[in-house]
A and B are shown apart, each in its own frame.
Chain A
């Protein structure tokens, strides 16, 4: 209900409401983006772009479900686009594996610091195929149902469940001994 009020106020022109939406979901969306990309810079950009677009389109935005799930879906889409773009750029420059490049998540001077758990998780997730990683992150962290993920990705629910199952199994073996 609070989200609906915030969106309504936002649509009425309240800058404060927009700021509150950002503050409310910032951390969750950043964790989502980092888990998906294992790249803090890309995560910053993705969350930035989603909020800017959200602010731009708020006049015609209608909240039909959960605002958190909506924003999570937008961030996931943006991360996918940015990863694809950077991968293409890397390909053009003949550099190898930029899309899966390992980034020091706690490099000094960064605007986002990740705790130990997130670093561990993000590193392990980076070893999964993109499609398994996306399903796991959206389901567990984005709290999206398999059916919604399937619809959003344009694939069957069974495929989503399969990716989740295989991904979890692999993730567990990667993290074995550390969790």
Chain B
């Protein structure tokens, strides 16, 4: 018996005996969670938003911060005063009643391994409880309305928005209303001073940008973080100049980010439209639709049915038959597809508007079919090359033309998913290169020029799509 088999046998003989108390604990908690579907939406929205962000190769941290802060403000915003404290630190602050203000929020990741770059987010507070955060790279905004618990995340590069409702999770509120850093953003600005709870440490005075400032430091705690907060304000006017917050996660596996709030501008009159919880014009609201709701299923045209058949035959190993169908297609005939396969029907906007689970479903299918298309194209290109070697140029052209048309099919709709169009263009380029070789061999100048022109057009189109995807 081999080592692996012996170990497998040991696994097979392994047993546990479970005390019913453990069953009670797990089943009871699971059933409680089962009965609270209202929390699920938030959790999924959070996770999937993460997925959207983490799929990007650009700066992730700043984008994540925009979302995390927006989400956590929602979680931690219970109403009422911070810690119940109302001690005014200085009479000079009494007159500050700025209900709308702007400031810069800089995050400095605290890591042991290597220094990380700081990032700055522009923040705007509109009256009480409405906050907008804008991150410039990548371009992401979050708009949170604490009165309704709703938060809109806007992904400008994708021209898409995600509305998270019921942001406030009841069981995450703390009894004493501590909001830590998060509550700071949604309160009248003078409440920065009201953080003093009698335990503050007076930091004295210092100079910031030629101004004399006076400050204090407090420590606060909520179920997730311990906060070390230092606040500095203009000694004469009482206007906050600098706020530094270091939330230390109680779960030490989580990263820590020091937050710096500065460049406060008080008494601003922000454009209310910037706090609108509807996606901007031309943007698509995500998480709305099921795949089945996208569009009424249409009867596919005859040629479209043949293409679907070809795509079904190939994975089943009936490759010759699949290629025969491809070569027999009449590309001049109308090509109208039904809802499925999604690769031919879903537009980029429609994809964004899908619920996340349906996005995954559609994506898995589209990726699988795109792979099949590529395999078929490689097959016909191989056949074409063999025909060239046999000097059967007409036959070779037939194969290459079939591959080219397949590429064009994927790229025919400018509204199609970007990934689908890029696969189509890759197919076009691959086949056009083969055609250029063929026409060079046969010295067919007219067709050679035409193929070269098409290749340049495909290259330009690819660059255009990539620019669009980058939001340029």
Chain A residues in the interface with B (C-beta under 8 A) = 15, 18-19, 22, 26-27, 30-31, 34-35, 44, 47-48, 51-60, 62, 64, 81, 84-85, 88-89, 91-92, 110-115, 117-118, 120-121, 136, 140-141, 168-169, 171-172, 175, 179
Contact = CB atoms under 8 A, between A and B. Distances in A.
Interface string B93-133: 00000000000000000000000000000000000000000
B252 A15 contact: no
A56 B6 contact: no
Contacts of A31: 11, 14-16
B7 A172 contact: yes
B6 A172 contact: yes
B34 A112 contact: no
Contacts of B3: 168-169, 171-172
B390 interface: no
B15 A27 contact: yes
Contact of B43 (A35, A56, A62): A56
A33 B25 CA distance: 17
Contact of B253 (A64, A88, A140): A88
Nearest to A91: B252
A141 B11 contact: yes
Contact of B16 (A54, A57, A58, A114): A114
Contact of B18 (A30, A58, A60, A91): A30
B308 interface: no
A55 B7 contact: no
Interface string B33-70: 11011011001100000000000000000000000000
B11 A121 contact: yes
Contacts of B6: 172, 175, 179
B16 A56 contact: no
B299 to A, nearest CB: 28
A113 B15 CA distance: 8
Given A88-B252, A111-B21, A114-B16, A19 B27 contact: yes
Given A112-B19, A118-B15, A56 B34 contact: yes
Nearest to B358: A62
Contacts of B34: 15, 18, 55-56, 58
The binding surface of chain B is classed by DSSP as helix
A112 B16 contact: yes
A120 B10 contact: yes
Contact of B13 (A57, A85, A117, A168): A117
Contacts of A19: 27, 31
Contacts of A169: 3
A52 B252 CA distance: 23
A154 B422 CA distance: 24
Contacts of B43: 56-57
A92 B252 contact: yes
A113 to B, nearest CB: 4
A15 B26 contact: no
A55 B31 CA distance: 7
A27 B18 contact: yes
A15 B31 contact: yes
B252 A48 contact: no
B14 to A, nearest CB: 4
Contacts of B11: 31, 35, 121, 140-141
10 contacts: A31-B16, A35-B11, A35-B14, A55-B33, A85-B253, A92-B252, A115-B17, A117-B14, A140-B7, A169-B3
B465 to A, nearest CB: 27
B91 interface: no
Contacts of B253: 81, 84-85, 88-89
A34 B356 CA distance: 33
Contacts of B332: none
B412 interface: no
A47 B26 contact: yes
Given A88-B253, A111-B19, A179-B6, A121 B14 contact: yes
A122 B360 CA distance: 36
Given A27-B16, A57-B40, A179 B30 contact: no
B449 interface: no
B175 interface: no
B315 to A, nearest CB: 17
